[in-house]
Chain A
Amino acid sequence: MIGGALALAAGAALFAIAVGAVLPVRQRVVWVGLFTALCAGAGGVAAAAVLAGGNTFTADFPDLFPLGGVRIEFDALSAIFVLATAVVAVPAAIYGIGYSARGPSSRPAQVAWPLLVWGVMMVPAAGNVTGLIAFWELMALSSFVLVLAEHHHNPEARTAAQWYASMTHLSLLTIVLALAVLAHQAGGDSFTAIRAGTDHIGPTTATVVFLLSLVGFGAKAGVAPLHVWLPRAHPEAPSHVSALMSGAMVALGVYGLIRVGWDLLGGGPTWWGATVLAVGLVSAMFGILHALISSDLKRLLAYSTTENMGLVFIGVGAAGMFASSGNQPLASVALAASMLLVVNHAAFKGLLFLGAGSILSATGTRDLDRLGGLARRMPVTAATFAVGSLAIAALPPLNGFVSEWLLLQSLVHSLPSNAAVVAVAMPVAVAVVALTGGLAAATFVKAFGTTFLALPRTVEADQAHESPRTMQIGLIALAGVCVALALAPTALAAPLQRVSLAVGGLADGRPIHTNGVYLQLSGIEAGLSPLLLATGLAVMMVAVLVVVRRGRLRRTVRDIPAWGCGRTVQTARMEYTATSFAEPLQRVFDDVLHPEIDIDVDHRTESRHYVQAIRYRMHIRDGFEHRLYLPVLSVVRRWGDGARRVQNGSIHRYLAYSLITLIVVLVVSR
């Protein structure tokens, strides 16, 4: 059954690639979308079967490549990531039918899209080093093509693609190094052989492998300071691709880190977990701060991805710390929290990116300061975007709340602890997670409010229309997934237990007990019933509505114009913009963000007391990029200029090089 589903996924992907390369543009978009959805759906079925049944599927293809075969090993840890991929990929593929018809319908883009979906699903399924690297590179290359898909209209996409390509290469380089060292020292290419051979690996080698894989997988996950590609590449890719990249592809960085660090290496000293935790804390704070002040909708979502991956890293790091200080039940809860967050993030971030795509294709802009009033013009997009915003702000009763609650529970209950580093790190982590939650709420109030409410700020926003049917189906499906995950996370309790059992170095307990309605954590006196919570909220809202309606019926209501302090019309120029909404918070974090602000005031010629125009320009530099990347880049550029002097285009000079080389070789080898 599992093998059949995986074979179906591969077949569907191949077929989608073939039709993407052959068919004329109108049919191409439709068939590629349908078969990509089928591919993702089949993968999701396989993942669900593994998570429900608890058995592992393996298959060997020993002669696939000249130097090494590919092995498929599909366990619970693989399955939870494949499930997250399927959750976002199926709706994104259907959405892509409508979206591509007006956007990226070229052959390369339509061939790369099923390749990317299949690659993202097969990376966790790989069971040996060769397979992992092969699928990893398949995923990286196809997503690179897709980032470039719209470069004709959008020159920014080229810069974004350059950044993406360099960071992806850095990531691949370190991963290959780490896995090669690991496979060599453990004496085997397949994960089974490596697990068996970990006894031969010394602590120094293990540390080197762990740090290399932290850099490599961290770069893919987009955690600070390796996040620089993410706020560039995700906005430039077509929106359904951004949804998959942001929802599922970056999560594979987390997968790789857990697989190598705690499954293959079997865990390590406490500082491994502490390092991951620290990276997570920095990323979460950094990501949400930049999301808060960003006025480009997709850039905002991309920074929020850095924040969410930071939260996942906090969970994984905390799990690692608990596991090495001997508190296995708590480690299981922390791991379960991060896995649940991965699945939830796939659902709500996918939804938000698809929503941003609808806005982009309806208005032609992603600039929040040029939108507004879309709720009445695009009701389906508005409603689903609202669901996504509530979920990502971790407000009950939506799904983000459950995972954030789990994460906070695991962090809070670590105290009192006998390990000093745990006792210091956990209160800080709790504070950061809480602050992040608050800022996320502010960010998405801004994103939703300035986009959908108030008066439209431009003609384009005023003339927007709702997206085509296929795009609406994708949005509604993902919103449905968010609601389902919110109401019934109890269904994931048993699968999460299987995941924690699959990662031997981290956890062995049963993180969550459930009776179908109520979640009870193991080893902690804490419980939650999302279903009852949601029902309670709904009952209260209905009650409030009824009371208000009653009150209104009893009194007679007159409609009269309100006193407007002498103001007679309300125009869009009077509204809060995204920038002005975020301005107070930006002042609070002035010391961290260092914004560059220019204010130009033009006076009227008649009198200095009358202002004609005020121009306000604000630019916020990415601190990591400015201090860490630009110096490196300038050194590389100086090298490049040196090479230009050698390579100056004169044929005679090139010919002289070969003559001199010949003479030198003759003299030296004499």
Chain B
Amino acid sequence: MTTTRFVQLLDLAAGLVLVTSFAVLWLRRLVTVTWVIAVQGMALAAVALVIGVYEHETELALIALMVFALRGLVLPGLILRAVRAGDEHREVESLINVPAALLAASGLTLVAYATTRDVVALSSTPQVRALPLGIAVMLIGMLLIVTRRKAVLQIMGVLMVDNGIALVMFLGTSGVPLAVELGIASDVLLAMFILQVLTARIRTKFGGTDLDQLRELRD
């Protein structure tokens, strides 16, 4: 693989991760959003695969396969089940409207680029130049958690934050040991299970997972 091709592919895959996170903010149907999250996971796997192939690291390619399975298939599948289980409106309910959310996300992306300037200046490899994308995805994930009303979307937000962290990890370190990635993956899987069980219990107990209504539980 030539360097030019590598840079193109890498930027394409990493860019796709960011674009999907914008898409999550933009789209309204829960099922579609879940599919987009799946695409984001696959794009993340692609990033790992491209780096692995370019640097001839079999271990990284293996990790890419695992990321594909977990973040591209298993976790979105779990979320999809949660979405289908709830017979609430299958639409996103947000505290701020879509243009405002997109504007905020753009602002966060700017923040990500501005704050990582010094890190990027340290080295000129294409991986490091794409690093701000990971931070941006992380911040947008948190924005999703803050602004959405349904618990399912908070789960997606957590997953997106984790995707962002994973992206920073792949780009910044050029491959982590398999053991570390395995540990992180199992953590995420566990967190997903717990969140899903919690959501199901909130739903059976209170008949909905709107966080604004949970506020009345106080006092």
Is chain B found bound to chain A in the same assembly?
Answer: yes
Using a CB–CB cutoff of 8 Å, the interface residues on chain A facing chain B are 649-652, 655-656, 658-659, 662-663, 666-667, 670
Contact B212 A650 (CB under 8 A): yes
CA distance A656 to B147 in the complex (A): 8
Known: A659-B142, A662-B142. A649 touches B111 (CB 8 A): no
List 19 A-B residue pairs with CB atoms under 8 Å apart, sorted by A's residue number.
Answer: A649-B219, A651-B211, A651-B214, A652-B95, A652-B146, A652-B147, A655-B142, A655-B145, A659-B143, A659-B145, A659-B146, A662-B142, A663-B139, A666-B111, A666-B115, A667-B114, A667-B115, A670-B114, A670-B117
CA distance A668 to B145 in the complex (A): 23
The DSSP consensus for interface residues of chain B is helix
CB neighbours of A650 from chain B (8 A): 212, 215
Which residue from chain B places its CB closest to the CB of A651 in the assembled complex? B211
Q: Pick from A651, A658, A663: contact of B111, CB below 8 A.
A: A663
CA distance A663 to B111 in the complex (A): 8
CB neighbours of B108 from chain A (8 A): 663
CB neighbours of B114 from chain A (8 A): 667, 670
Task: Please give the distance in Å from A643's CB to the nearest CB on chain B.
Answer: 14
Task: Please give the distance in Å from B149's CB to the nearest CB on chain A.
Answer: 8
Task: Please give the distance in Å from A507's CB to the nearest CB on chain B.
Answer: 59
Q: Pick from B117, B118, B212: contact of A652, CB below 8 A.
A: B212
CA distance A651 to B219 in the complex (A): 14
Query: A651-B214, A655-B146, A667-B114 known; 14 other A-B pairs, CB under 8 Å?
Result: A651-B215, A652-B95, A652-B146, A652-B147, A652-B211, A655-B142, A659-B142, A659-B145, A663-B111, A663-B139, A666-B135, A667-B111, A667-B115, A670-B117
Task: Please give the distance in Å from B85's CB to the nearest CB on chain A.
Answer: 21
Which residue from chain A places its CB closest to the CB of B147 in the assembled complex? A652
The DSSP consensus for interface residues of chain A is helix
Contact A649 B218 (CB under 8 A): yes
Task: Please give the distance in Å from B166's CB to the nearest CB on chain A.
Answer: 17
CA distance A22 to B219 in the complex (A): 36
Contact A658 B142 (CB under 8 A): yes
Task: Please give the distance in Å from B121's CB to the nearest CB on chain A.
Answer: 12
Task: Please give the distance in Å from B61's CB to the nearest CB on chain A.
Answer: 32
CB neighbours of A670 from chain B (8 A): 114-115, 117-118
CA distance A399 to B40 in the complex (A): 87
Which residue from chain A places its CB closest to the CB of B135 in the assembled complex? A666
Task: Please give the distance in Å from A108's CB to the nearest CB on chain B.
Answer: 27
Task: Please give the distance in Å from A669's CB to the nearest CB on chain B.
Answer: 8
Task: Please give the distance in Å from B41's CB to the nearest CB on chain A.
Answer: 23
CA distance A658 to B143 in the complex (A): 10
CB neighbours of A663 from chain B (8 A): 108, 111, 139
Which residue from chain B places its CB closest to the CB of A665 in the assembled complex? B115
Chain B positions 97 through 132: 1 when the CB is less than 8 Å from some CB of chain A, otherwise 0:
000000000001001001101100000000000000
CA distance A9 to B215 in the complex (A): 53
CA distance A662 to B211 in the complex (A): 22
